[in-house]
């Protein structure tokens, strides 16, 4: 299979290595495309060191790359608000598409993708790596077994610490018209997990949210009244626990600081700027077609990082907790390791609760990435009893919860999904689980 990648930022590296190295015998990387010449050269050099070179193209040469290299599949790893442009162009050029989450960020862009898919019949794969985390797959396995009976409700909280969480407020993600806000950019992972775990999709969504922490008033409370537009030149950087040191981080320095002259992209904007348009505190209530309900919370300034989830069922409860980072101290993360970082508890009615041995794996995202990449790029892997592969239908349903939640936050109303889509002329097939 021949692959081309558009977007040479940090996210593309995983896919580049999988195609060109790990699964290079079965696949070939035939082209790289990006707006930034510096990052494009870094990526091309990494591939060239292991072969005979790689064709590179500027962003405006995307169609030229498709015509000359004729990839079977285009991998899209550009910023979220541009996903639809490259997905649509690639499909109309006869290519299949593999895209980073979220598939896109709003209903107009979603309609453009759905229309192009119906027109061309090409496939779209959305890379939801969290489905492949062994511990999350184990939850699916238990729920599929019927151990807790009918799933009636889910409580799900995701905690972002003040290192990881802050990073969404210092770059393009901080503008809702570029990322859809955290309820689309980040929570699409979580809403996809719930859709997959439940084997259902939402019919109504209500939400509230606000920016409570990443704002000028917080900086003033921290004594950071003299602030610059970015960490790199900020007079208060040495006293700010949320600073990002691009100079002292070799990968970020090479990929972003040294690349600024090419396109002017600034990676370390101040997280306390007044023009940020996304929320940092969000709660969502969703009702599903199968009758289950979801209460979801995302906090982007927690003292630790991880998740807590509880499934309520007619036979009992299933709870899971993952502590990814124990705490943040002076801008540094104290990452959690070992079996104590994840716990799964099965508590059936009339019985003592049981701590289960949590499924584990090696590699990034709790062992998810190697498993997912194998399913994506190894043609010998054909069966998956858990249905972890994700199409454009999964991608659409995963973002709809966040898009509807954004609309609910804006209007104060409950958003009913079917008329919400119909108003934009969108007809989305129900997922056949």
Tell the CATH superfamily of the 2-126 domain.
NAD(P)-binding Rossmann-like Domain (3.40.50.720)
DSSP state of 242: T
Q: What is the dihedral of CA 278, 180, 342, 433, to 10 degrees?
A: 150
What pLDDT, on the 0 to 100 scale, is given for residue 424? 95
What pLDDT, on the 0 to 100 scale, is given for residue 361? 87
Q: Where are the domains of the chain?
A: 2-126, 130-213+277-365+387-422, 226-263
Is the pLDDT at 84 greater than 60? The verdict is: yes
pLDDT band at 425, cuts 50/70/90?
very high
pTM, two decimals, is 0.95
The yes-or-no answer to whether 2-126 and 130-213+277-365+387-422 have a common fold is no
What pLDDT, on the 0 to 100 scale, is given for residue 50? 60
What pLDDT, on the 0 to 100 scale, is given for residue 331? 57
For residues 277 and 177, is the Cβ–Cβ distance under 8 A? yes
Is the pLDDT at 338 greater than 60? The verdict is: no
What pLDDT, on the 0 to 100 scale, is given for residue 382? 84
User: Measured on CA atoms in the order 413, 416, 421, 422, is the torsion positive or negative?
Assistant: negative
User: Measured on CA atoms in the order 415, 418, 422, 428, is the torsion positive or negative?
Assistant: positive
Q: What are phi and psi of 383, to 5 degrees?
A: -110, 145
- 38-44, long-range: CB < 8 A, 24+ apart: 38/258, 38/259, 38/261, 38/262, 39/8, 39/9, 39/255, 39/259, 39/262, 40/8, 42/8, 42/254, 42/255, 43/5, 43/8, 43/12, 43/13, 43/16
Residue percentage of the chain with pLDDT more than 90: 89
pLDDT tens digits, residue range 360-419?
Answer: 988 887 788 999 999 999 999 988 999 999 999 999 999 999 999 999 999 999 999 999
For residues 294 and 194, is the Cβ–Cβ distance under 8 A? yes
User: Which of these ranges, 209-218, 232-241, 323-332, has the smallest mean pLDDT?
Assistant: 323-332
DSSP assignment of 169-225 equals TSSGGGSHHHH--HHHHTHHHHHHHHHHHHT--EEEEEEEEE--SSSHHHHHHTT--
What pLDDT, on the 0 to 100 scale, is given for residue 284? 98
Mean pLDDT of 146-160: 98
Mean pLDDT of 52-71: 94
Is the pLDDT at 169 greater than 70? The verdict is: yes
Residue keyed to tokens 């990676």? 267
User: Which of these ranges, 261-265, 321-325, 330-334, 349-353, has the smallest mean pLDDT?
Assistant: 330-334
Is domain 130-213+277-365+387-422 annotated with CATH 3.30.360.10? yes
What pLDDT, on the 0 to 100 scale, is given for residue 358? 96
CA angle 243, 245, 246 (to 5 degrees): 130
Mean pLDDT of 243-248: 94
What pLDDT, on the 0 to 100 scale, is given for residue 130? 94
What pLDDT, on the 0 to 100 scale, is given for residue 166? 96
Residue percentage of the chain with pLDDT more than 70: 95
What residues have CB less than 8 Å from 24, skipping those under 6 apart?
A: 50
DSSP state of 357: P
């Amino acid at each position: 299979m021949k692959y081309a990648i558009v977007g040479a930022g940090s996210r593309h590296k995983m896919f580049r290595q999988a195609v060109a190295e790990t699964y290079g015998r079965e696949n070939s990387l035939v082209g790289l495309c990006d707006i930034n010449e510096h990052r494009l050269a870094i990526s091309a050099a990494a591939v060239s060191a292991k072969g005979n070179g790689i064709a590179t193209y500027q962003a405006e040469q995307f169609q030229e790359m498709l015509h000359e290299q004729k990839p079977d599949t285009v991998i899209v790893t550009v910023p979220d608000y541009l996903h639809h442009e490259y997905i649509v162009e690639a499909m109309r050029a006869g290519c299949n598409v593999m895209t980073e989450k979220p598939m896109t960020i709003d209903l107009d862009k979603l309609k453009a993708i759905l229309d192009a898919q119906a027109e061309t019949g090409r496939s779209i794969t959305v890379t939801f790596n969290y489905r492949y985390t062994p511990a999350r797959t184990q939850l699916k396995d238990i729920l599929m077994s019927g151990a807790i009976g009918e799933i009636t409700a889910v409580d799900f909280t995701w905690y972002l610490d003040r290192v990881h969480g802050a990073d969404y407020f210092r770059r393009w993600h901080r503008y809702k018209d570029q990322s859809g806000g955290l309820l689309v950019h980040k929570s699409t992972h979580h809403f996809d997990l719930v859709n997959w775990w439940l084997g259902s999709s939402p019919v109504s969504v209500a939400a509230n949210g606000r920016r409570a922490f990443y704002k000028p008033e917080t900086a003033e409370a921290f004594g950071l009244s003299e602030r610059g537009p970015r960490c790199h030149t900020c007079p208060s950087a040495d006293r700010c626990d949320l600073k990002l040191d691009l100079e002292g981080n070799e990968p970020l320095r090479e990929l972003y600081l040294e690349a600024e002259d090419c396109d002017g992209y600034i990676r370390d904007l101040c997280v306390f700027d007044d023009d940020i348009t996304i929320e940092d505190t969000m709660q969502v209530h969703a009702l599903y077609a199968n009758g289950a309900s979801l209460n979801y919370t995302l906090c982007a300034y927690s003292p630790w990082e991880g998740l807590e989830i509880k499934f309520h069922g007619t036979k009992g409860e299933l709870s899971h907790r993952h502590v990814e980072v124990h705490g943040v101290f002076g801008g540094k993360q104290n990452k959690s390791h070992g079996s104590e970082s994840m716990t799964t508890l099965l508590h059936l009615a009339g019985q003592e609760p049981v701590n289960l041995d949590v499924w584990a794996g090696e590699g990034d995202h709790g062992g998810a990435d190697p498993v997912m990449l194998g399913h994506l790029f190894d043609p010998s892997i054909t069966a998956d009893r858990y249905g972890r592969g994700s199409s454009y239908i999964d991608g659409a349903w995963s973002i709809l919860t966040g898009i509807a939640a954004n609309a609910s936050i804006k209007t104060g109303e409950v958003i009913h999904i079917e008329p919400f889509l119909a108003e934009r002329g969108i007809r989305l097939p129900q997922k056949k689980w």
